Amino acid sequence: MNGYDWREALALRKADADAIQRVRTERLRDHLSLAASAAWYADLFTRTGLDPAMATLADLSRLPLLDRATIESHPEMFVPKASPPPVDIAMTSGTTGKPLVVPYTKNDLERLAFNEEMGFRTAGVTPEDRALLTVTLDRCFVAGLAYYSGLVRIGAAVIRSGPGQPARQWELIERFRPTLIVGVPSFLMALAKKGRRLGFEPSASGVKKLVTIGEPLRRADHSLTPLGRDLASAWGTELYSSYGSTEMETATCECATGTGAHVHPELLIVEIVDENGRLVPDGEPGEVVVTPLGVEGLPLVRFRTGDVARLHRGPCGCGLNTERLGAIEGRLAQRLKVKGTTIYPEMIFQALQEVREIGPVYIEARNAYDLSDEVTVVAGCDDAAVKADTIADMLRARLRVRPEVVIKSRKEVVEAMDTGGRKPTRFFDFRRQNPEDRSQ
Ligand SMILES: [Zn+2]
């Protein structure tokens, strides 16, 4: 199961499609064979007649999609009897329900570190880099641990500053001169603004790269969102967006071309499916379905992430031949159909990032009479010169959909978004029948 050598891994990423397929097929067989000692998969393989040791990549599509609710209802059925006991208990952030417990074995942690090492290498990180890590390493979260152990594998120095405390972050930036910051885009933007107020110029700080997580920085056509543009210009750096999740146990990271996040071929299979679970053609949007290879603690096969994106195949300008996952375009459960046009709240948030006077924003969705969704955008803005009609017209020009726009004070909007969760609620779904609630 080991063999996590970055030189070998890099050679594989530059190899031709056949060589990549061969390695993937081997890894898939190993993965399914281990999974077969878990009750859920044993039953599944018997029912479908799939022989894990002989499976091909094409055979995957014979298996049903798996959603989080199914794992939550009987998690013990997903733990292979053949797996060693866990050494780390991770949990998902629980933004869409109760947190899912994800046990990591020793090998899973090594796999996680290797995965992140390869992500950072894709972003051009070297042993000479010093990284300010502004994501949390505790609270049973896995992203911070993954970044940390990946950087350690590379041999880069890590400054584990953790989230928040922008003034203290600037003390650390001044003292240790990091060349790389890892963090959430909106926090890194706030950090740049705070730096300017404190008399530090972010673009003169010596930081050369930002590796981000949690919020998309690009649109489907790879162009930067307004937040991405602001971030790049405030710091004067390159941006590398990464995507992953606790249960995926794998992350993808952009290269310098900014045309999607490279999928680690030996660690992850990504499929993009339509609402009927069928594969969509390359470059078309659909739900991201993942099969993380080589996981021992909680192996997943065709797991639905609920995120919508596109997959791009073919050689990349950076020299790698691995497929790339485009920017996340939205959450499937939040998909809105407005008079025949499909949009996601994320697209509205991104469009409104261009209006500097607007602060926090939330969206409400209700059923309209014509099978369409009625969308209300509530924007926090204390500038009386900004008119709801002007904003609605701007949204129509960008998205071909004209939602109702309501302007309230920033304070009112912040209060309405505080629903007691860890993060503010940005989307309120009052639709009676949410099509994504259908279980598999
Ligand atoms: Zn590339």
Report the range of poorest mean pLDDT among 154-168, 292-306, 344-358, 420-434: 420-434
Quick check: 430 pLDDT over 70?
yes
Average pLDDT score over residue span 41-57: 97
Q: How far is the CA of 318 from the centre of ligand 1 (A)?
A: 4
pLDDT band at 399 (very low <50, low <70, confident <90, very high): very high
332-437, what's its fold? GMP Synthetase; Chain A, domain 3 (3.30.300)
Q: How far is the CA of 123 from the centre of ligand 1 (A)?
A: 9
Quick check: 437 pLDDT over 90?
no
pLDDT band at 411 (very low <50, low <70, confident <90, very high): very high
Q: How far is the CA of 124 from the centre of ligand 1 (A)?
A: 11
Average pLDDT score over residue span 75-81: 96
In 296-431, which ranges are E strands?
Answer: 303-309, 311-312, 324-325, 330-331, 336-338, 341-343, 361-367, 373-380, 404-408, 427-429
pLDDT band at 48 (very low <50, low <70, confident <90, very high): very high
Average pLDDT score over residue span 386-401: 94
Q: How far is the CA of 284 from the centre of ligand 1 (A)?
A: 19
Q: Which pLDDT score, from 0 to 100, does residue 440 have?
A: 28
Q: How far is the CA of 229 from the centre of ligand 1 (A)?
A: 20
Phi and psi torsions of 145, nearest 5°: -65, -40
**Segment 126-136, tens digit of pLDDT:** 999 999 999 99
CATH 3.40.50.12780 in the chain: give the residue spans.
1-328
Quick check: 420 pLDDT over 90?
no
The answer to whether the CB of 136 falls within 8 A of the CB of 144 is yes
Q: Which CA distances in Å does 407 have to 12, 46, 221, 379, 411?
A: 53, 57, 30, 5, 12
Instruction: At 90, list the tokens.
Output: 């991770």
Quick check: 40 pLDDT over 60?
yes
Averaged pLDDT of the chain = 94
pLDDT band at 96 (very low <50, low <70, confident <90, very high): low
Which residues touch 139 (CB under 8 Å, ≥6 apart)?
Answer: none
Cβ neighbours of 68 (radius 10 Å): 18
pLDDT band at 432 (very low <50, low <70, confident <90, very high): confident
End-to-end CA distance of the chain: 31
Q: How far is the CA of 11 from the centre of ligand 1 (A)?
A: 14
Q: How far is the CA of 92 from the centre of ligand 1 (A)?
A: 29
**Segment 243-297, tens digit of pLDDT:** 999 999 999 999 999 999 999 999 999 999 999 999 999 999 999 999 999 999 9
pLDDT band at 95 (very low <50, low <70, confident <90, very high): low
pLDDT band at 3 (very low <50, low <70, confident <90, very high): low
Q: Which pLDDT score, from 0 to 100, does residue 438 have?
A: 34
Q: How far is the CA of 323 from the centre of ligand 1 (A)?
A: 9
Report the range of poorest mean pLDDT among 224-228, 262-266, 337-341, 425-429: 337-341
Q: Which pLDDT score, from 0 to 100, does residue 21 have?
A: 96
Work out the widest C-alpha separation in the chain, in whole angstroms: 67
CATH of domain 1-328: 3.40.50.12780
Exposed e or buried b per residue across 376-387, where buried means at least 16 C-beta atoms within 10 angstroms of its C-beta? ebbbbbeeeebe
Q: How far is the CA of 255 from the centre of ligand 1 (A)?
A: 5
Average pLDDT score over residue span 59-87: 95
Q: How far is the CA of 17 from the centre of ligand 1 (A)?
A: 15
Quick check: 1 pLDDT over 50?
no
Q: Which pLDDT score, from 0 to 100, does residue 92 have?
A: 86
174 vs 97, more confident: 174
Query: Of all residues in the chain, what percent carry a pLDDT higher than 90?
Result: 90
Quick check: 309 pLDDT over 50?
yes
**Segment 141-168, tens digit of pLDDT:** 999 999 999 999 999 999 999 999 999 9
pLDDT band at 94 (very low <50, low <70, confident <90, very high): low
Instruction: At 228, list the tokens.
Output: 């991405």
Q: Which pLDDT score, from 0 to 100, does residue 334 have?
A: 93
Q: How far is the CA of 251 from the centre of ligand 1 (A)?
A: 15
Instruction: At 76, list the tokens.
Output: 């013990």
Question: Strands 157-159 and 130-133: what pairing?
Answer: parallel
The answer to whether the CB of 272 falls within 8 A of the CB of 260 is no
CATH 3.30.300.30 in the chain: give the residue spans.
332-437
Coil, helix or strand for 396? Answer: helix
Quick check: 107 pLDDT over 80?
yes
Q: How far apart are CA 152 and CA 170, in angstroms?
A: 23
Q: Which pLDDT score, from 0 to 100, does residue 148 have?
A: 98
Average pLDDT score over residue span 369-389: 92
Q: How far is the CA of 410 from the centre of ligand 1 (A)?
A: 40
Average pLDDT score over residue span 384-406: 94
Q: How far is the CA of 13 from the centre of ligand 1 (A)?
A: 10
Q: How far is the CA of 56 from the centre of ligand 1 (A)?
A: 26
Quick check: 429 pLDDT over 70?
yes
Q: How far is the CA of 241 from the centre of ligand 1 (A)?
A: 12
